[in-house]
Amino acid sequence: MSDSQHIVCPHCHTTNRVKAQDLGSAPDCGKCHQSLFTAHPAELDEASFDRHIGRNDIPVLVDFWAPWCGPCRMMAPAYEQAAGQLEPRVRVAKVNTEEVQNLGARFNIRSIPTLALFKGGREIARQAGAMRSAGDIAQWVQANLR
């Protein structure tokens, strides 16, 4: 394994090279100088989604959601907490399927919320429906990364 990893900034979406041992020490983006890990889900559009999925060396967890969706709103606080538990091992992100409809169609999202876990540029796991707690979300991610 390389001693550095490519991490995409959640703010400016620039790819950064970070030493593996520095991931846990709050590294900043070399371009915009903001934190690479915020303990909050990154909000992605189509272009930034492709950058995060294709260029991050860490897995990316994506919540496909919509503002009108009751279960999505119910799960939002748990998903926010899960970001704090999973980062910096996993990038946590959200895609508003009302604003970015092409991604919902591209990934055949039929119900929301849908969590999709990506690793190495491809989807490795999917969960349709709301999860109750941050612990449940983190446990599902860890089980699918084994």
Place of tokens 């371009």: 31
- What pLDDT shows up at residue 1? 47
Q: Let me know if residue 9 belongs to a domain.
A: no
- What pLDDT shows up at residue 24? 87
User: How many domains is the chain partitioned into structurally?
Assistant: 1
The CATH number of the domain holding residue 85 is: 3.40.30.10
**How many angstroms separate the CA atoms of 59 and 136, rounded?**
17
| pLDDT tens-digit series, residues 84-123 | 999 999 999 999 999 999 999 999 999 999 999 999 999 9
- Catalytic annotation, residues: 69, 72
- pTM for the model stands at 0.96
Q: Let me know if residue 134 belongs to a domain.
A: yes
Q: Which domain holds residue 64?
A: 38-145
- What pLDDT shows up at residue 2? 58
Cis peptide before 71 (omega within 30 of 0): no
Three-class DSSP labels, 64-115: EECCCCHHHHHHHHHHHHHHHHHCCCCEEEEEECCCCHHHHHHCCCCCCCEE
Low-confidence ranges of the chain (pLDDT < 70): 1-2
Residue 44 CB contacts under 8 Å (≥ 6 apart), including other chains: 52, 62, 93, 94, 95, 100
